[in-house]
Amino acid sequence: MTLRAGIVGCGGISRSHATAYANLDGVTLAALCDINPEALNARADEHGVSARYSDFEEMFEKEDLDVVSACTHAPLHGPVAIAAARHGVNVLSEKPLSVDLQTADKMRAACSEAGVRLAVSHQFSFTPPFQEAKAWIDAGLIGEFRSVREIGKGRPAGFELMEMGVHYFDGMDLFLDGIEWIHAQVTYEGHEVGVEDIMTSSELCTTDKRDNGIVAGDTMMIHIKGKNGASGIMELYRRPQVQGWMMGPHILGSEGQLMIRPNPETFVDELWHCPFDVSFPSHTPEWQKVPIDPERFRIGEQLWQRRQSIWSVRDMVDSIREGRQPRLGGAAALISLECVFAVYESHFTGARATLPLKERRHPLVSRLQTV
Ligand SMILES: NC(=O)c1ccc[n+]([C@@H]2O[C@H](COP(=O)([O-])OP(=O)(O)OC[C@H]3O[C@@H](n4cnc5c(N)ncnc54)[C@H](O)[C@@H]3O)[C@@H](O)[C@H]2O)c1
């Protein structure tokens, strides 16, 4: 049976979802929706899609879709998912799943009651370099696993946490066998973040128009405790913005290190290994690229060696065919977002925030409301 896919939001990331659906066997990109006709027509023309909508409710009403990608900014992921669920459509939401946990809970409940899947698109952790790094850790090839570290691209931390931090939490969830608690400190212009520093994401980050809801802080130091005893360390601070190819997990064990970085020229993701637990300049030549069979990157006709959305789109499509949950579906869809709010909860209470969070209200919004 050919699955019929749709996309709501035809901006930047929709290119990756549309390409994914167009390249997966047994799937047809059937309908697209955007309120901006230019964006809609550009994406639809690229893929020869004639069913074009400016209203997603109308799209769900008229098109008999099996799956939809929610590729709008985060505040609309909830309304799109809930409308899709009403029409029996499986939902792959772009990250962050929502801008608050109460909406995320409603999305999950609506999809569960309708008997459709809800998953979040964190494609990195599906890719062969991430899976290979996890296999090295599990096989003890870097000794006792100690930590995994990520840094942001330089945008103010409150914005970055929603934009890249959620991807990093997802990777850490994989490497750490689940996240137990988070302890974080958040500062703004050098002082501890207080209620007066809570603002909208567009006020905090004027260089990126994406709406990530209510945020706070330009610098964050985040300690993430894994269920396997190792730690995650996330450092997000404002600095001259760097390119995505400088990003990737740095994994430390008692007998070695692993690093995943896209090649700066080809953007192909690479896994590197160093057989020491600490790096010194003299050890630098010891970093070796870990060979990964290129065939592991094959999906259909092509090798997908960058962090394209096809990795999470394929899991959603396969999950529908196989009658299972997507790997980042159900409760797992909420984990990276819970981590975001655990950061603020920990900062304001000065204590560890244990996952899953009992408090579902937005920790920043509820503090604003008590002022
Ligand atoms: N997984 C990844 O690696 C990755 C990468 C980039 C962006 N993202 C995420 O994808 C989401 C979208 O980001 P983007 O960079 O593509 O944004 P974008 O601004 O380029 O695109 C958003 C699109 O949504 C459309 N839109 C707005 N309201 C709509 C409505 N009511 N109905 C239909 N369409 C509507 C806009 O017109 C726009 O074309 C964000 O949540 C972002 O964090 C994920």
129, two tokens: 């370099």
What atom in ligand 1 is closest to the CA of residue 40? Answer: 39
Strand 67-70 with 90-93, pairing: parallel
For position 371, what pLDDT does the model report? Answer: 77
Burial 298-318 (b: 16+ CB within 10 A, else e): ebeeeebbbbbbbbbbbbbbe
Q: In angstroms, rounded to a whole number, what is the distance separating the alpha carbons of residues 86 and 22? A: 25
| The CATH number, out of the four listed (3.40.50.1000, 3.40.50.150, 3.40.50.720, 3.40.50.1820), of the domain defined by the range 3-123+308-326 | 3.40.50.720
Residue extents of the structural domains in the chain: 3-123+308-326, 125-302
- pLDDT at position 354, please? 98
CA distances from 297 to 144, 171, 203, 304, 351 (A): 29, 18, 40, 5, 42
Closest by CA to 194, choosing from 25, 347, 1, is 347
Tokens 């064990």 -> residue: 253
Task: Please tell me the distance between residue 202's alpha carbon and the centre of ligand 1 in angstroms.
Answer: 15
Q: Is 4 helix (H, G, I), strand (E, B) or coil?
A: strand
> Ligand 1: which residue has its CA nearest to atom 19?
11
Instruction: Please give the distance, rounded to the nearest whole angstrom, from the Cα atom of residue 79 to the centre of ligand 1.
Output: 14
Residue nearest to atom 31 of ligand 1 (CA): 35
Give me the average pLDDT of each 10-residue run along the chain (371 residues).
97 98 98 98 98 98 98 98 98 98 98 98 97 98 97 94 97 98 98 98 94 97 98 93 78 96 88 86 80 96 94 98 98 98 98 97 94 77
The separation between the first and the last C-alpha atoms of the chain, rounded to the nearest angstrom, is 56
Handedness of CA 278, 123, 304, 318 (dihedral sign): positive
Q: Which two tokens stand for residue 189?
A: 């212009």
- Gap between the Cα atoms of 368 and 366, Å rounded: 5
Q: Is residue 354 helix, strand or coil?
A: strand
Task: Classify residue 180 as exposed, middle or buried by CB count within 10 Å of its CB (0-12, 13-18, 19+).
Answer: middle
pLDDT on residue 276? 86
Closest-lying ligand 1 atom to the alpha carbon of residue 33 = 33
- Kindly give the distance from the C-alpha atom of residue 71 to the centroid of ligand 1, in angstroms, as a whole number: 5
C-alpha 350 – ligand 1 centre gap (Å)? 34
SS (H, E, C) 95-127: CCCCCCHHHHHHHHHHHHHHCCCEEECCCHHHC
Alpha-carbon gap, residue 296 to 353, rounded angstroms: 38
Scored b (16 or more CB within 10 A) or e, 269-291 reads bbbbbbeeeeeeeeeeeeeeebe
Return the CATH fold of 125-302.
Dihydrodipicolinate Reductase; domain 2 (3.30.360)
Which pLDDT does position 266 carry in this prediction? 86
- Predicted pLDDT at 284: 65
Indicate which atom in ligand 1 lies nearest the CA of residue 56.
32
Per-residue pLDDT at 283: 66
Expressed in angstroms and rounded, the spacing between residue 18 Cα and the centre of ligand 1 is 13
Q: Whose CA is nearest to atom 14 of ligand 1?
A: 12
HEC per residue, 173-223? HHHCCCEEEEEEEEEECCEECCHHHEEEHHHHCCCCCCCCCEEECCEEEEE
How many residues comprise the chain?
Answer: 371
* Nearest ligand 1 atom to alpha carbon 14: 16
Round to whole Å and give the CA distance between 117 and 122.
15
Candidate of 73, 127, 312 to mutate for ligand 1, largest count of ligand atoms within 8 Å of Cβ:
73
CA angle 249, 255, 258 (to 5 degrees): 20
Residue whose CA is at the smallest distance from ligand 1 atom 33: 34
Ligand 1 center from residue 70 Cα (angstroms)? 8
CA of 248: how far to CAs of 313, 334, 365, in Å? 21, 22, 31
Distance CA(262)–CA(258), nearest Å, equals 13
**Residue 196 structure tokens:** 């007066």
